A and B are shown apart, each in its own frame.
Chain A
Amino acid sequence: MPGEARDSRESKDSRNSNQLSFDELVEKFRNAIREELENKDSFNAFQNASESFFSSLRLAFDRFPDTAKLAAEVRKIKENSLENLEYLIDVATQNLERNGIDVFFAKDALDARRYILEELSGVKERTIVKSKSMTLKEIGLRYFLEKEGFEVWETDLGDFLVQLANDEPMHLTAPAIHLSKENIAKLVEKFGELKNRDANSIVRLIADFLREKIEKAEVGFTGANAIAANSGSLLIIENEGNARLVSSLPELHIAVVGVEKIVPSLQDAYKVAEVTWRYAGYEMPSYIDVISSPSKTGDIEKKLVKGAHGPERISVVLLDNGRTAAKGLLREALKCLRCGACLFACPVFGELRGRWGDTYMGGIGVAWDAIINSGEAYKAHALACLLCSRCAEVCPVGIDSGRILRELRASFIRELLGIDRGIKRGNHKF
């Protein structure tokens, strides 16, 4: 229930990872590994989900055989965008503002939270709703707002289940992948009566419960899959329909988006989105939302009135949090579309699921943890990578997490032993 959960990192250990020695970090993670290896339900649930994922992926590629070609194009779009990131941040800011959207550049998570709290200062209703977003998780939004006295509800079904379980998401696109139907039914019965314990009944009960919360909320939070700099638009892909409700029913929509999501044009953004959902195993998503300004109408004497059916105000937080400072191979990780395909391909993730990684998850998640300065835990987690590069085979933009994590190891092991040699292999090509 809202308010019961603590900060994700606090919930795993009473001490912040910055307070632990390297040995303690490794030992702590080794204990977590031992614990998770005992979780056979989670293992089996993930194996089943993994098989379904690869079947869906094959079907999606059969129906859209040009996907790999499109992915190659998206890889170039992302590379070019990252090379011109500062320029694109400026262009996106200008065009979002021109469309009537408030923009705040947050240098880190603290900065973003501070701004958000200011935005919420005049809000009377304490119920807040959010859609699934790793960037919102990155800034610890839910736990932060709960501490500030708000009642925050995850509206993505998987995230909602994780919230009920007071757990952490186990996959980028499938957060409740570790929970069986039986366990889910038990969780859901905490707040409502199930007519049947089948999936349909569970979904109906949750959707009805959340609809009431969404209608009540004055503020809705989302992330975005891409930002088109030239049009000042956010692209959000989803299947459940919760993100469109969260971004349109409350009076204020706040989107927190990493700056690496900015691409030059709306066409580029669409291509990014299409490759993302396809590699996430979907032929087509249920919805592709393009949001370019607050809701508005000029139907009465041609005078512009904001907030007709949708929100009166939209606020976009462009989050840096270490992204523009990422160097070497770490910068490769910024190309990640967060489709989650690599996680299904990874043997380590198959065993540990969301326990591998601190804020983010999987091999790519460990790289992201290093980028966003979420603490020192990434060092212990980086040592769990097999460097087998299976992830790179299924990544739409060709990210080899193993290469990145090997370079990370090289950096912190040199530091650990006080070595100033051996830096020439940083960008070694496999």
Chain B
Amino acid sequence: MKDIFKLLEDNFHKSGNPLGVRISPSWAAELGIDYGGKRILFTGLSYQLMPFTISALNILEKGKAVSILGKLSKLGLSRLIPKKETDSFYNALRAAYKLLKQSGIDFGFLYEKEPYDGALFYDFGMDWLVDENEARIKKIFEENNVKEVLTISPHSYFMLKNVYDLDIEVRHILELVDLPRVNRILHEPCILARKTDFAEKFREKFQKLAILPKRSGKLTSCCGGPVELIYPELSRAICINRAKELEEEAEIRNVKGKITESTVGFITACPICLMNFLRCGFEVEDYLTVSVREGKFAGGS
């Protein structure tokens, strides 16, 4: 375990993210997003890291012991190849761009300089890295004269708004865009529902967007994602049971998206939830992607 924590730290110091992978900002370049600016779109690398996470977890889960984690550290996570699910995450980023643009919001992006949001370090209690990352983010934002960030990931929103002491305006995308109604079941992320001011400020956007299951809002039930690195089997079991709840809800409501008996087409609003449901074999998409494709903004590419 020590090797794993050390690996995460070393990766962070070498490449700025805990997995030690190179994150390409080509998706933003393709969309023609300007570099920098006082208001920026902040991904915190959270969506981009998830395909690598799925690959790593697939190997970890097949391992018999913690020792496999040590072997992985020697192998180097950066050599793992992202899986086909990659599009699910990048489509969410593209959808965020479209929704913001359609709402008339101007923003830039920091491309290669965009810092990691630090969520994994915070969850593991690696607070010295949280401190380091806070200083790093501050420096990058100051150098680029950033005054306002628009977050997409709930974890980025939480880290920048509640954990770091930053002198900038931190906003969640839902504060700025109106979403169309989609005929899907929404899995609400715990961190938005219970750990941020989201519930008070703009949860009604979720209520208008989609069908909310029995366990939602303050009592939304976790996807199991946060324990996937240490206890992947536990994470999977929690994920499957949560998905079953959503599937049952989908059956009751007979909503669009039910693919087969073992899969269900629901939506979520967090890259970690999306990652965990995908790796457990469920048909799931990000709410932003579905909003753009199926809502009134469809065709607005």
Chain A residues packing against B (C-beta within 8 Å): 22-23, 26-27, 29-30, 33-34, 37, 345, 347-348, 350-352, 383-390, 392-393, 406-414, 416-417, 419, 421-425, 428-430
Q: Does B65 contact A (CB under 8 A)?
A: yes
- Counting CB contacts under 8 A, is B123 at the interface? yes
Report the minimum CB–CB distance from A417 to chain B (whole Å).
6
Do A351 and B237 touch across chains, with their CB atoms under 8 A apart?
A: yes
Contact of B227 among A345, A385, A413 (CB under 8 A): A385
A37, B127: Cβ atoms closer than 8 Å: no
For the complex with contacts A413-B5, A421-B128, 12 further pairs of A-B residues with Cβ separation under 8 Å are: A33-B231, A348-B227, A348-B238, A386-B225, A386-B226, A387-B123, A389-B195, A390-B194, A390-B220, A417-B5, A417-B6, A422-B129
Please name 24 pairs of A and B residues whose Cβ atoms are closer than 8 Å in the assembled complex, sorted by A. A22-B2, A30-B65, A34-B233, A37-B237, A348-B238, A383-B230, A384-B227, A386-B190, A387-B226, A388-B222, A389-B190, A389-B195, A390-B220, A392-B194, A406-B123, A409-B125, A410-B125, A411-B125, A413-B5, A413-B126, A416-B5, A422-B128, A425-B127, A430-B162
From residue 11 to 30 of chain B, which have CB atoms closer than 8 A to chain A?
Answer: none
Could you tell me if A350 and B125 are in contact, using CB atoms closer than 8 angstroms? no
Contact between A417 and B162 (Cβ–Cβ < 8 Å)?
no
- The answer to whether A410 and B233 have CB atoms under 8 Å apart is no
Contacts of A428 in B (CB 8 A): 163
CB atoms of A393 and B130 under 8 A apart = no
Q: What chain A residues lie within 8 Å of B122 (beta carbons)?
A: 406
Question: Across the two chains, which residue of chain B brings its CB closest to A423?
Answer: B127
The distance from the CB of A225 to the nearest CB of chain B, in whole angstroms, is: 27
A381 to B191, CA, bound (A): 21
Number of A-B contacts (CB under 8 A): 124
Contacts A33-B231, A347-B224, A390-B222 given: A424-B66 contact, CB under 8 Å?
no
Contact status A30-B66, CB under 8 Å? yes
User: Chain A residues near B231 (CB, 8 Å)?
Assistant: 29-30, 33, 383-384
A347 touches B238 (CB 8 A): yes
Decide: A413 near B125, CB < 8 A? Known: A26-B1, A390-B222, A425-B130: yes
Q: Do B222 and A347 touch across chains, with their CB atoms under 8 A apart?
A: yes
Residues of A within 8 A of B131 (CB): 421-422, 424-425
Chain A residues in 8 Å Cβ range of B136: none
Q: Which residues of chain A come closer than 8 Å to B220, judged between CB atoms?
A: 390
Contact (Cβ within 8 A) B238 A27: no
Q: In this complex, which of A27, A347, A348 has the most chain B Cβ atoms within 10 angstroms of its Cβ?
A: A347
User: What secondary structure prevails in chain B residues at the interface with A?
Assistant: helix
Q: Which residues of A contact B224 (CB under 8 A)?
A: 347, 386
Determine the chain B residues whose CB is within 8 A of the CB of A425 once the complex forms: 127, 130-131, 163
Q: In the assembled complex, which residues on chain B have CB atoms less than 8 Å from the CB atom of A30?
A: 65-66, 230-231, 233
Given contacts A30-B231, A351-B237, is CB(A389)–CB(B194) below 8 Å? yes
- In the assembled complex, the Cα of A392 lies from the Cα of B218 at a distance in Å of 10
The 9 tightest CB contacts between A and B, nearest first, are: A422-B128, A409-B125, A410-B125, A422-B127, A421-B128, A388-B222, A388-B190, A386-B222, A386-B226
With A386-B226, A389-B194, A421-B131 in contact, is A408–B125 under 8 Å at CB? Answer: yes
Q: Please report the C-alpha to C-alpha distance between residue A402 and residue B270 in the assembled complex, in whole angstroms.
A: 19
A contact residues around B225 at 8 Å (CB) = 386
B1 to A416, Cβ gap below 8 A? Answer: yes
Q: Which residue of B lies closest to A28 (CB)?
A: B66
Are the C-beta atoms of A33 and B123 separated by less than 8 Å? no
Residue of A nearest to B128 (CB): A422
CB distance from B74 to the nearest CB of A (A): 16
Whether A347 contacts B241 by the Cβ 8 Å rule is yes
Q: Which residue of B lies closest to A25 (CB)?
A: B1
Interface centre among A352, A414, A425 (most CB of B within 10 A): A425
Q: How far is the CA of A423 from the CA of B1 in the complex (A)?
A: 21
- Total contacting residues, chain B, CB less than 8 A: 41
Q: Are the CB atoms of A22 and B242 closer together than 8 Å?
A: no
* CB-CB under 8 A for A417 and B234, given A406-B123, A409-B125, A430-B162: no
Least distance between A328 CB and chain B CB atoms (Å): 12
Chain A residue with Cβ nearest B218: A393
A419 to B123, CA, bound (A): 17
Chain B: which residue is nearest A31 at the CB level?
B65
By the criterion CB–CB under 8 Å, are B124 and A390 in contact? Answer: no
Q: Are B194 and A393 in contact (CB under 8 A)?
A: yes
Q: Give the CA-CA distance A26 to B3 in the complex, in Å.
A: 13
CB contact between A26 and one of B66, B123, B130 (< 8 Å): that residue: B66
A411 to B227, CA, bound (A): 18
Alpha-carbon distance between A408 and B195 when the two chains are bound, in angstroms? 19
Name the residue of chain B whose CB is nearest to the CB of A47.
B241
Within 8 A of A (CB), among B173-226: 190-191, 194-195, 218-222, 224-226
CA A26 to CA B234, docked complex, whole Å: 13
| Distance between Cα atoms of A87 and B66 in the complex (Å) | 47
CB distance from A260 to the nearest CB of B (A): 25
B5 to chain A minimum Cβ distance, whole angstroms, is 6
Interface string of B235-252 (1 = CB under 8 A from A): 001100110000000000
Report the separation of the CA atoms of residues A33 and B231 in the bound assembly, to the nearest whole angstrom: 8
Cα of A327 to Cα of B124 in the assembled complex, Å: 20
- Of chain A, the residue at the smallest CB distance from B215 is A390
CA distance A109 to B91 in the complex (A): 57
- Contact between chains at A414 and B194 (CB < 8 Å): no
Cβ distance A397 to chain B, nearest Cβ, rounded Å: 17
Residue of A34, A37, A347, A408 touching B242 (CB-CB under 8 A): A347
Assess whether B241 is in contact with A422, with CB atoms less than 8 Å apart: no
Q: How far is the CA of A348 from the CA of B221 in the complex (A)?
A: 10
Kindly state the separation between the CA atoms of A387 and B233 in the bound complex, as whole angstroms. 17
Chain A nearest CB: distance from B220 CB in Å?
Answer: 8
Task: Compute how far the CA of A28 lies from the CA of B218 in the bound complex, rounded to whole angstroms.
Answer: 34
How far does the alpha carbon of A430 sit from the alpha carbon of B242 in the complex, in Å? 25
Bound-state Cα–Cα, A413 to B194, Å: 26
Q: Which residues of A contact B222 (CB under 8 A)?
A: 347, 386, 388, 390
Q: Is the CB of B219 within 8 A of A390?
A: yes
Of chain A, the residue at the smallest CB distance from B239 is: A347
CB distance from A42 to the nearest CB of B (A): 13
Is A351's CB under 8 angstroms from B127's CB? no
How far apart are the CA atoms of A413 and B123 in the complex, in Å? 12
- State whether A348 and B234 are in contact (beta carbons under 8 Å apart), knowing that A23-B66, A26-B1, A421-B131 are contacts in the complex: yes
Q: Are B221 and A347 in contact (CB under 8 A)?
A: yes
Q: Given the known A-B contacts A30-B233, A347-B221, A389-B190, are A430 and B195 also in contact in the complex, defined by CB atoms under 8 Å? A: yes
Cβ of B126 and Cβ of A410 under 8 Å apart?
yes
